[in-house]
Amino acid sequence: MPSREGTYGLLAEFDTPGDLVRAARQAHEDGWRRLDCYTPYPIEEVAEVIGFHRNRVPLVTLVGGLMGLAAMFSMETWISVIAYPLNIGGRPLYSWPAFIVPAYEWTILWAGLSAGFGMLALNGLPQLYHPLFNAPNFRDGATTDKFFLCLESLDPKFDLVESKQYLESLDPVSIVEVEY
Amino acid sequence: MATREVRPSDPGIDPKTGEFRVIGQGETFKSITEKISRIVLTPHTPLGFLAFFGIAGGGATVLLVAVTWLFLKGTGIWAVTQPVAWGFAIINFVWWIGIGHAGTLISAILLLFKQTWRNSISRFAEAMTIFAVVCAGMFPLIHVGRPWLGYWLFPIPLTMNVWPQFRSPLLWDVFAVSTYATISVVFWYIGMIPDFGTFRDRSESKIAQYFYGILSWGWRGSIRHWMRYETASLLLAGLATPLVLSVHTVISFDFAVAVLPGWHTTIFPPYFVAGAIYSGFAMVLTLAIPLRKFYHLESLVTERHIDNMGKVMLATGFIVAYGYGLEAFMAWYSANHWEAFTFWNRAFGPMGWSYWTLIICNLAIPLTTLWSRKLRTNIAYMFVLSIIVNTGMWFERFVIVVTSLYRDFLPSSWGTYRATKWDYMTFVGTLGLFTTLFLLFVRFLPMIPMNEIRMLLPAAKIKPKAAAGAGD
């Protein structure tokens, strides 16, 4: 459990996505690992330069979809063959081609729900409070037109004075110390 | 707006491509955020909005009255009887579901094809989908006669030990439509989460901050979150794409699996899907044209969008025309007496007027005029055309349902169909409900995805340091 007191990190603000990409690349190359970037829209280059290449949303979606498929197909089979066998025009009880449509729909349903809510869960959301919201310029611009790089205090390289000087070398618009 | 000459010097035209711009010139991250969030975050509600809302709410009230009376008296108040046992309820169901399809096509298929022009119109097209599915989903439920037993449709362990029959397309429909509704809502909501974050940060009132803060799940724009978000959006788009094709296919099975002449055709699934997209794009135009005007969004929903939607309608309209043509051809080629009679009766029987209405509205007017770029970018013309196509598509379903049923196999069982005032009230009522929901959406939710628009701006292009230093 990380400590909930003191400094969360140092937040540097940039005006353009290009500046953020350069700063983030530099920080990552200099060995920073507990860092994150905050942008008003997705920027793939930023994720690339901080080494975030892959995520587990596709896996969650696949598992969800297969579960939906299995659940519906087995339910249809159980209902039509065992629980409530009906003779419809002499068709076999296990008339699997007719079961495909609902099973297909449930594959999509479960996969879609897993993709959506799995993404939120992997992101650790909902999280209505976050220390960064204490930074006034973050609330002002992070979801509108500003680009942020945050060096977190949990990084072993973190030191309030030295890290601040380091961030200044990356040429940001401003640097704010964020409290927990 | 009058027809305008398209010249390369036109500010709406990108000189590099010769195409209309997707986003008007001079927009920045701040200006588009301001433009879109102001519509929602202003405490002032325009009078025009309230007037529209009053009219739409009146329509929704008519629906409430019609459905209450229906529940008290039963489906006998409608015109459905033998031989026309499926009437307005099914016509409206198919029509509304069809309208929804354009929203999914825009949000899912065009996303996969990287058609970035779709970004401005995707959100309200998705909203349109959801509200159309709400209106559509109501009809089968109230049509069953005893809607309080609607849960019998679902495989639930009941004390009676009765289970649904999975070989029936009507049951497939239950799963197709419920999946469609759920996935559309998830896609729509997930798409709005970052925009709710923007609203939370920009709203002045405490209530709005709490409201949008909770809706945003605490979104803060972390790049790791964004990447998972992008993956999820792409996967949802990939999953919604087969839905666009499957939902109306399954609905067409309701007809095509029956042995009735006029219904029993293999062309139905593709022709239903194309018709759905055709009417859906018409509805997007019906909504987008007044919206961009009243909310001054001409730089976000540009002529390019209207033009492109016109092109999609032209293409799907021709698929629909092919469907009509093939129905006529098969009536002759099948050498089936009943099939030929049904077709002849459709066109020249006592209800032939409905067939010719659909031919004029769906084929004669749009498919001749949509070729012209001048007309496609004439906003007033496109608005009128969108209403014509919507009418035509409603008549298409009327023709399919009613004219296939009212001349039964034996002349002794021939009948007719005359909708009652309750039929009309229910239909008009759903138009009111749809408009009410849409107006509420425009007032309280982000109707244009701000985060997706930001990606289209020139400022979003990442310039290398050297070039930026030398150039600026």
Which of B121-125, B184-188, B324-328 is the least confident region? Answer: B121-125
User: pLDDT at residue A178 above 60?
Assistant: yes
pLDDT in tens, B225-243: 999 999 999 899 888 888 8
A32 contacts on B by Cβ (under 8 Å): none
CA distances, B289 to each of B38, B39, B360 (Å): 19, 16, 23
Percent of chain B with pLDDT over 70: 94
User: pLDDT at residue B2 above 50?
Assistant: no
Residues B66, B72, B74, B78, CA torsion sign? negative
- Cβ density class B83-120: b for 16+ within 10 Å, e for less: bbebbbbbbbbbbbbbbbbbbbbbbbbbbeeeeebbbb
User: pLDDT at residue A4 above 80?
Assistant: no
**Mean pLDDT of all residues in A147-154:** 87
User: pLDDT at residue B467 above 80?
Assistant: no
Closest C-alpha among B255, B313, B321 to residue B101 = B313
User: pLDDT at residue A1 above 60?
Assistant: no
For position A3, what pLDDT does the model report? 54
pLDDT band at B68 (very low <50, low <70, confident <90, very high): very high
For position B470, what pLDDT does the model report? 38
Q: How far apart are the C-alpha atoms of B41 and A40, rounded to whole Å? A: 19
Q: How far apart are the C-alpha atoms of A63 and A75, rounded to whole Å? A: 18
A52 contacts on B by Cβ (under 8 Å): 223-224, 227
Paired strand residues for A7: A179
Q: How far apart are the C-alpha atoms of B257 and B264, rounded to whole Å? A: 6
Which of B103-107, B131-135, B304-308, B461-465 is the least confident region? Answer: B461-465
For position A145, what pLDDT does the model report? 84
Average pLDDT, chain B: 86
Cis preceding linkage at B83, omega within 30: yes
More confident residue, B103 or B439: B439
For position B469, what pLDDT does the model report? 41
pLDDT in tens, B290-347: 888 888 888 788 888 888 889 989 999 999 999 999 988 988 998 888 888 888 988 9
Closest C-alpha among B240, B231, B296 to residue B125 = B240
Classify A39 as helix, strand or coil.
coil
Which of A4-8, A24-28, B247-251 is the least confident region? Answer: A4-8
Cα B291 off chain centre by: 16
The answer to whether B462 contacts chain A (CB < 8 Å) is: yes
Query: How many helices (H) and strands (E) would you count in chain A?
Result: 6, 4
**Mean pLDDT of all residues in B128-153:** 88
Interface contact flag, B227 A36, Cβ < 8 Å: no
Contact predicate B198/B213, CB 8 Å: no
Q: How far apart are the C-alpha atoms of B149 and B46, rounded to whole Å? A: 43
CA distances, B28 to each of B10, B24, B25, B300, B305 (Å): 21, 10, 9, 12, 20
**Mean pLDDT of all residues in B88-100:** 90
Interface contact flag, A116 B189, Cβ < 8 Å: yes
Contact predicate B460/A17, CB 8 Å: yes
**Mean pLDDT of all residues in B86-105:** 88
ipTM of the complex: 0.91
For position B408, what pLDDT does the model report? 84
The bridge status of strand A7-14 relative to strand A35-38 is: unpaired
Interface contact flag, A102 B33, Cβ < 8 Å: no
pLDDT in tens, B159-182: 888 888 888 888 998 999 899 999
Interface contact flag, B222 A37, Cβ < 8 Å: yes
CA distances, A128 to each of A36, B157, B236, B381 (Å): 18, 39, 25, 47
For position B264, what pLDDT does the model report? 87
The CB density around residue B211, as the number of other CB atoms within 10 Å, is: 16
pLDDT in tens, A62-98: 999 999 999 999 999 999 999 888 888 888 889 899 8
Interface contact flag, B231 A58, Cβ < 8 Å: yes
Pick A41's closest partner by Cβ from B155, B171, B451.
B451
Instruction: Concatenate the DSSP letters of all residues of B61-73 into one string.
Output: HHHHHHHHHHHHH
Provide the H-helix boundaries in B203-302: 206-215, 223-256, 268-294
**Mean pLDDT of all residues in B91-96:** 92
**Mean pLDDT of all residues in B11-33:** 73
The pTM assigned to this predicted structure is 0.87
Q: Which long-range contacts (CB under 8 A, 24 or more apart) does B373-380 make?
A: B373/B6, B373/B307, B374/B3, B374/B6, B375/B3, B376/B306, B376/B307, B376/B310, B376/B311, B377/B3, B377/B4, B377/B6, B377/B20, B377/B303, B377/B306, B377/B307, B378/B1, B378/B2, B378/B3, B379/B1, B379/B289, B379/B303, B379/B306, B380/B1
